[in-house]
Structure 1
Amino acid sequence: MARHSGVTEAGFDPLIHAPHRLRICAIAHAATHVEFGELQERLGVSKSALSKHIAQLVERGYLQEEHLTRGGRSRLRVSLTEPGRRAYRGHTAALKEIIEAVE
């Protein structure tokens, strides 16, 4: 399949496909936004590992970050951008196609 911008025509996206990034996108897709701490707890990864995954998704334009201060503490929350939502939906559709083709 032809590639453009890291996404194949079928919608399979190698950036999203990595397990932790796929889970980040799934969690963010189900919510308006999600806090860094919640993602870290749900994924069971270190702060540095999660930061790297988030940075890759932000760099591609799939996630946006928002820094907040609540209770005197700085917090980071992320949300999927519209291109991120399209890429996630395309990727999950491509995965379903792969599974259905084998069944």
Structure 2
Amino acid sequence: MLPYKELANLDKIVHEPARLSILTALSACTLAEFLFLQELTGLTKGNLSSHLSKLEKANLIVIDKHFVRKKIPQTTIRITSEGKAAVDQHWKQLLSIHQSIRHHGANNENRSAPNPLSINQALT
């Protein structure tokens, strides 16, 4: 399979840019507060909430909603072991695809499309 076609086989839940950003951030820490993730990712509250719901449904994160001092709501999010494995695997796949494309291109330099200027110069 050509490396370009492998891009279409990436996990869509993880690959979506906002969710990849969230998972990558969470993989670097034990847990994060909702407002911290919002600031880090630049997403709106509604957009972040929507992406977190999809990640939670896929069992990639766990969301904990509780109150601090009985009246201040706080939402914390942590990545699950499945989420950590999924994001790590995703980055490995992207790196592998990128390396394959670079290698494939390097091996086919002599077969690349001809330079239009050299064709025009040859014709004159």
Structure 1 length as normaliser, TM-score? Answer: 0.85
Per-residue CA deviations over 1:9-54 (Å, capped at 9, x if unaligned) read xx83111101110000000000000110001111111111000000
- Stretches of structure 2 that go unaligned for 5 or more consecutive residues are 103-124
Q: Which amino acid aligns with 2:58?
A: R
Moved more, 83-92 or 52-61: 83-92
- Stretches of structure 1 that go unaligned for 5 or more consecutive residues are 2-7
1:50 aligns with 2:52: no
The secondary structure found in structure 2 opposite 1:20 is: helix
Alignment equivalent of 1:31, drawn from 16, 22, 29: 29
Name the count of aligned residue pairs: 95
The aligned residue for residue 74 of structure 1 is: 73
Per-residue CA deviations over 1:55-97 (Å, capped at 9, x if unaligned) read 0000000000111322531111111111111111111110010
Give the 5 Å matches for 1:1-103. 12-71=10-69, 72-103=71-102
Structure 1 stretches (4+) deviating beyond 3 angstroms? none
The secondary structure found in structure 2 opposite 1:52 is: helix
Determine what percentage of the aligned residue pairs are the same residue.
27
**Which has the larger strand fraction?**
1
The secondary structure found in structure 2 opposite 1:31 is: coil
Q: CA RMSD in A?
A: 1.8
